[in-house]
Structure 1
């Protein structure tokens, strides 16, 4: 027979002695406020209680017991009220005995409480298993959708891949599916935060082209589109990322973006370029901090490659911006832009070599890298002509071409980082 945790206030029958006579030991006496703690500390197998008219505190204690340390509960009472009976059953009482205390009935009533407890636990486990299976099915459907979209495969093929990796890793399909979903979320967040870095530089580049009247109408349309894209990304990240984890970084991005917007409004003027560029630099720093934090928070090691490819997008726009600032502005601003351009070229070429040597690759990625390198050489060729109107137009075209290449590459790296075989 199980050991008993007894609740027997003054006036109760001699339950402990009667249990002992039946060969059932009482290991401790308890009270409603400490029932859960006593159950956790002790080795009780059943709770026996006597209460003529069960108060709310006792029933709440039983409810907490079932939530934190479930045990069978046998309650003796004088209360025949149906409402009290219903509350007691909802609270986790398994045998509710009204005016029926008799020592000879203790053993069968304990068996009844335990049998009902075991039945309830089996039902609870079945319900939990059903809920888990339903949740797993939702995870599998989401993961299949991601694989179908990113790899252009059928639903059957997506499920086959999930099953294959599940068997290879000896994991449930739901566990593998969650990995796919988490990887897609992390790669997307790093990609979008990285776009903010690029867009901060792109906006100033486009504003400079408008000041130089180089494809000014097209530059104006692209500037509006870039500003709209920043607002969408900032709002989307604010909804999808944890405020507790990334809230301060998101706030920094939002504040920097709010400060940049007024600097780019109105009729473009060269003398406003330095202030606009300084505001864009603050957005760049804030976006870079967020991107780095997102990469660090993810278990996917391959997100470092996604981050690097995304940074190349930013450098494509930053270098074009610096060339335009050097040509349009005077004095320290022009000198600083020229010095920064040298560093941008070095950073871009260093990262390009790292990407070419990165283990995360594919035939499509290698082909895109070759095209991107050609676009990079085109931009370098045009940088020396930034003081001429046609040279600025070539810079505008070449930087857009290079940006497009690295937009595609970043998406390819993000897709590769979500591979089912990723062990990050």
Structure 2
């Protein structure tokens, strides 16, 4: 069984180093999709190539690259490993908030590539799992809130018990082949609309 090599988009502001790193990546079995000399066009290139990971080796990353990474993280989440001599807790925090999965405070080297890729991808998977779990929990909470609101409105308007209101929602959902949430949203919209 052959495994598909990890595909990489490399951003390096030093052409000679980028060429050397590109060769090292290819020799190590990675698939180099593209090399960029700056963050300009990074969003487009990530969208175009859909890499497994983005490696960034820039001497002095700036706000522009962090903004690009933030947009990527929102619209096309991708693991990112950043290598930079620029340190400082504030910058590293900003980088992580922008979507950097692994931050190495020294430049990219052959011996650091594989561990950095593994760390970045593991961190990314862990973060995505937490993010999805949080989204599911938030959706469930939102659903419960709207159902509870609909039950409260039914109880007040129809002068019925909570159990009867819940049964009414269930029956309406089954009869309309819909979810309780959808029925609850319709009830809330209808019963909260002021009558003339």
Q: Same fold (TM over 0.5)?
A: yes
Find the counterpart in structure 2 of residue 2 from structure 1.
6
* Equivalent residue, structure 2, for 1:23: 29
| Cα RMSD (Å) | 2.0
Determine whether 1:158 maps to 2:165.
Answer: yes
* Structure number with bigger Rg: 1
User: Cα offset for 1:166?
Assistant: 3.5
Matches within 5 A, 1:22-421: 22-30=28-36, 31-99=38-106, 101-167=108-174, 169=176, 171-185=178-192, 188-189=193-194, 191-192=195-196
The CA deviation at 1:170 is 5.4
Q: Under a length normalisation based on structure 2, what TM-score does the superposition of the two structures give?
A: 0.86
**Secondary structure of the residue that 1:78 maps to in structure 2?**
coil
The answer (yes or no) to whether the contact 1:76–1:101 under 8 Å persists in 2 is yes
- Structure 1 gap segments, 5+ residues each: 193-424
Distance (whole Å) between structure 1 residues aligned to residue 170 and residue 29 of structure 2:
54
Aligned CA distance change for structure 1 residues 54 and 139 (closer, same or farther; 3 Å): same
Distance 1:108 1:167, change over 3 A: farther
Q: Displacement, 1:124?
A: 0.9
Q: How much has 1:7 moved relative to structure 2?
A: 1.0
Kindly indicate whether the alpha-carbon contact (under 8 Å) linking 2:21 and 2:109 is maintained by their aligned counterparts in 1. Answer: no
Between 94-103 and 110-119, the greater mean CA deviation after superposition: 94-103
SS at match of 2:34: strand
- Three-state SS of the structure 1 residue aligned to 2:138 is helix
Distance change in 2, residues 1:132/1:180 (3 Å)? same
Question: Which TM-score applies when normalising by structure 1?
Answer: 0.42
Q: Kindly state the Cα deviation for residue 51 of structure 1 after the two structures are TM-superposed.
A: 0.8
> Whose helix proportion is higher, 1 or 2?
1
Query: Does structure 2 conserve the Cα–Cα contact (< 8 Å) formed by 1:36 and 1:68?
Result: no
Q: 1:112 to 1:7 in 2, by over 3 A?
A: same
Deviations, residues 186-230 of structure 1 (Å, cap 9, x unaligned): xx45x42xxxxxxxxxxxxxxxxxxxxxxxxxxxxxxxxxxxxxx
Aligned in 2, Cα 1:118/1:99: closer, same or farther, shift over 3 Å?
same
